[in-house]
Amino acid sequence: MIRLLCLVGLLVVLLASPAAAHDVKAGSDLRIAQTIAGAELTLVIKATTRVPGPLRVEVIGFPSAPTLDLRLRSVTDGRVVTGTVAPGRPAQLRVEETGPHELTVGAGGESAVIPFRVLVDRGSGWEFLIYGGLFVAGLLLVGGLLTGAFNRRGRSAFVVTAVAAAGLAVAALIVILDPWLPARSPDGAEPRPTDSVIGRPYVQRVVTMVPAAPAAGEEFVARVELFDGSTGRPVDDLTIHHEAMAHLVVTSEDGRYFRHVHPLRTAPGRLEVRLRADRPGRYLTYVELERTDSGGQLLTGSFTVTGSAKPTASSDPALQDAAATGTVTVTPAAPQAGRAATVEVATSGTPRPWLGMAGHLIVRGADGEFLGHVHEMGTPGSRLRFTFSFPAPGRYLAWAQYATDRGITTVPFTVEVPR
């Protein structure tokens, strides 16, 4: 009997559907970083447990955020509600049903359309077996008592006891196996098969600037259009990856210009962000994103800024060696290629979480062929510690980033990895 039970348990475990890696589930907030109207902010769509019911939207500025106009539209029935949100002033919108929705966020003449699903958990679906088993057992135990009292023959009492025991055993078995049993998808979830996740094709990108050759000192739009590598159709199934639909890193070839921004989804498969560069020259772009049910991808591109340099008071300084910064320590001082090195950054102020982490380290090869993005893993105090293996000898440009109440601090430095 024990063998048979083990076999049943094993079958259930093997056939159960795996958890989707990047679904937004009921009970968890949706946090999306956006660069809009010159501000870096995180939009928080709070989890809702009741539909119809309220949907709360908050915004966190780094360090500040403008008032955002919100327009929530149900893709199912087209119902629209509007509101505004600002830091410390959350918006209370209302959802009438579960399923796909679009939240349009507007500020300063820019807008983003954020698709998301409102999900409400329906429970495991196995509860009826637990409660059913207990109900049958309870009912039959009473019946057993009555049978025992009025019937002297043991046969009926035996059957009643046996069925009651079976009910209890089913309830207990389901309670034990519950973590491995296939869960019912929540209300409003995307229709999808319950079998294993197989990933999605790679993304092809087209990076364009509007205008095509931006002039130094003038604002331009960096536009990234995403296409499916297999079908050629726009890719519009980006999952939230480190609290953003996409992370765009733009650096000048010499590394003095560095921006880590979070473009706005302006149309299916299209991401845009406004930028400004002070100096002419070639700039490199890196887009970090992740499709639903897939791993992360890095898409690269480049563009040229024309005209003559328009230095401003906040022009970016030249990068210096880590040791010369006074705030960055690399251990060992001359890292070996392929071996883990530790990069420690002394922070100014207490870091607060940004993009889900206390700190970020972006490392670029001097020629731009390599880009790495490392996370701080929870060092106590006012230091950030990163562990990173520089892949090959050479010169690397690096930018450590963290957020405090004063906004986002970027610490640029270089690391030389000897041969």
Binding-site ranges for other proteins (CB under 8 A): 1, 4-5, 8, 12, 15, 74-78, 100, 125-126, 129, 133, 158, 161-163, 165-166, 169-170, 173-174, 181-182, 184, 190-194, 198-201, 228-233, 236-237, 268, 293
Distance of CA 54 to the CA centre of its chain: 23
Nearer to other proteins, 204 or 410 (CB): 204
Closest to 319 measured CA to CA, from 360, 278, 258: 258
- Residue 109 corresponds to which tokens in the numbers above? 């003449």
Amino acid at 40: E
Q: Given the structure tokens 């230091």, which residue do they identify?
A: 383
CB of 406 to other proteins, least distance (A): 42
Torsion-angle region of residue 389: left (phi > 0), alpha (psi -120 to 50) or beta?
beta
Nearest to 247 by CA among 399, 71, 366: 399
Q: How far is the CB of 116 from other proteins (least distance, A)?
A: 14
Tell me the closest approach of the beta carbon of residue 382 to other proteins, in angstroms. 45
Q: How far is the CB of 332 from other proteins (least distance, A)?
A: 45
Taking the C-alpha atoms of residue 30 and residue 117, their distance in angstroms, rounded to an integer, is 10
Residue nearer to other proteins on the CB measure, 102 or 416:
102
Q: CB-wise, 50 or 155, nearer to other proteins?
A: 155
- Beta strands 91-95 and 203-210, pairing class: unpaired
* Residue 1 Cβ vs other proteins, minimum distance, rounded to whole Å: 5
Tell me the C-alpha distance between 173 and 19, whole Å.
22
Report the alpha-carbon distance of residue 37 to residue 112 in Å, rounded. 11
385 in Cβ contact with 344 (< 8 Å): yes
Nearest-approach distance from CB 27 to other proteins, in angstroms: 21
Closest CB to other proteins among residues 84, 161: 161
Which of 182, 281 has the CB closer to other proteins?
182
Measured from the CB atom, is 37 or 168 closer to other proteins? 168
